[in-house]
């Protein structure tokens, strides 16, 4: 299937038709509604729109057929160069390795500029999907500069930087803790059993003494009903 600027031509055509029927609406509203209709993320729709705008400026045949001969006007977008891409990637990776989310890391770079934040987020995701060599270079540089190792989730759709975590060590420590608790519980249970056994022996001895024929005056006291309640 033919792709233009990385996007399927049929998606461009669908978006062009969608835009044509929604004159007067803001781009944000159009992106949101087309995202709901197509099942795509709003950021993806935004990027598709800019790809469509670029094609409308360069492909007269497409423009005439699907856009009524009109070019889509957009503000000039400054493209990231290689060094800017790497700098963005490294900044986000460092933040996530420190326990921050990707969104928080990008927000710290962009301040209150929501458009800039969305642009950075889209570029970050694009780099993760399309530039493994740049990722490897950034990870190596972070390790050389900070000693921190940054790992990645295996699947592209869930890719994000995560700090290395000593799972095996934590697992051993948890198992050791469970074993210590279990051992302490077994010892306490054994001590209770021995104490109960000792008390039962003492109780049996007292009963035997009180049941004998020769009972002293002091022992007769224990033959009363209340004394039996105490002993039993």
CA distance 153 to 161: 7
177 or 192: whose pLDDT is higher? Answer: 192
In the chain, the number of structural domains is: 3
Domain ranges, residue 113: 82-163
Residue 220: inside a domain: yes
What's the CA gap between 13 and 62, in Å, rounded? 9
Task: Give the rounded percent of residues in the chain with a pLDDT score beyond 70.
Answer: 76
Q: What is the arithmetic mean of pLDDT over 55-77?
A: 80
159 and 86 share a domain?
Answer: yes
Confirm whether 73 is domain-assigned: no
Whether 120 maps to a domain, the answer reads yes
What is the C-alpha to C-alpha distance for residues 177 and 17, in angstroms, rounded to an integer?
63
Of the two residues 217 and 96, the one the predictor is more confident about is 96
Same-domain pairing of 158 and 98: yes
Please indicate, yes or no, whether residues 87 and 148 belong to a single structural domain of this protein: yes
- 90 and 147 belong to one structural domain: yes
Do 88 and 41 share a structural domain?
no
192 and 125 in a single domain? The answer is no
Same domain, 99 and 159: yes
29 and 48 co-located in one domain:
yes
The model's confidence at residue 211, banded by pLDDT at 50, 70 and 90, is: low
Tell me: do 187 and 213 sit in the same domain: yes
In a domain, 74, yes or no: no
pLDDT-derived band at 157 (thresholds 50, 70, 90) equals: very low
Residue 75 maps to a domain:
no
179 assigned to some structural domain: yes
Among 139, 163, 187, identify where a domain stops.
163
The band of 164, judged by pLDDT with boundaries at 50, 70 and 90, is very low
Residue in 6, 117, 2 with CA at minimum distance from that of residue 51: 6
Pick the range with the lowest mean pLDDT from 87-91, 155-159, 221-225, 228-232: 155-159
Q: What does the alpha-carbon distance between residue 169 and residue 177 come to, in Å, rounded to a whole number?
A: 12
**Over residues 73-101, mean pLDDT:** 79
Give the model's confidence band at 160: pLDDT under 50 very low, under 70 low, under 90 confident, else very high: very low
Would the pLDDT of 61 be above 70? yes
Question: Residues 121-152: pLDDT tens digits?
Answer: 888 888 888 888 888 888 888 888 888 777 65
Residue-wise pLDDT tens digits, 18-40: 887 776 677 778 888 899 988 98
The answer to whether position 76 is within a domain reads no
Say which residues have a Cβ less than 8 Å from residue 33's Cβ, sequence separation at least 6.
18, 22, 25
What is the pLDDT confidence band of residue 165, given thresholds at 50, 70 and 90? very low
Whether residue 140 is found in the same domain as residue 155: yes
> Do residue 93 and residue 159 come from a single domain?
yes
* Among the listed residues 105, 93, 70, the one whose alpha carbon sits nearest the alpha carbon of residue 152: 93
Residues 39, 57, single domain; the answer is: yes
Please, which residues have CB within 8 angstroms of residue 129's CB and are 6 or more apart in sequence?
Answer: 156, 159
Give the span between the Cα atoms of 51 and 135, in whole angstroms.
Answer: 25
Looking at residue 154, its pLDDT comes to: 34
């Amino acid at each position: 299937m033919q792709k233009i600027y990385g996007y399927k031509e049929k998606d461009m055509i669908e978006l062009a038709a969608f835009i044509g029927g929604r004159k007067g609406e803001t781009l944000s509203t159009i992106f949101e509604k087309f995202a709901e209709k197509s099942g795509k993320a709003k950021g993806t729709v935004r990027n598709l729109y800019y790809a469509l705008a670029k094609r409308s400026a360069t492909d007269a045949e497409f423009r005439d057929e699907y856009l009524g001969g009109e070019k889509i006007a957009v503000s000039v977008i400054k493209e990231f160069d290689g060094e800017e891409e790497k700098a963005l990637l490294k900044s986000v990776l460092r933040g996530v390795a420190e326990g921050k989310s990707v969104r928080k890391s990008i927000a710290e770079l962009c301040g209150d500029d929501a458009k800039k934040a969305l642009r950075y987020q889209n570029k970050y995701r694009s780099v993760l999907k399309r530039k493994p060599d740049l990722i490897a270079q950034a990870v190596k540089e972070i390790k050389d500069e900070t000693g921190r190792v940054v790992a990645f989730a295996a699947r592209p759709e869930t890719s994000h930087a995560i700090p290395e975590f000593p799972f095996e060590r934590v697992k051993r420590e948890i198992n050791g803790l469970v074993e210590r608790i279990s051992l302490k519980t077994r010892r306490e249970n054994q001590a209770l059993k021995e104490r109960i056994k000792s008390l039962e022996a003492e109780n049996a001895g007292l009963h035997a003494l009180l049941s004998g024929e020769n009972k002293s005056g002091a022992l007769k006291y224990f033959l009363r009903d209340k004394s039996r309640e105490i002993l039993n």
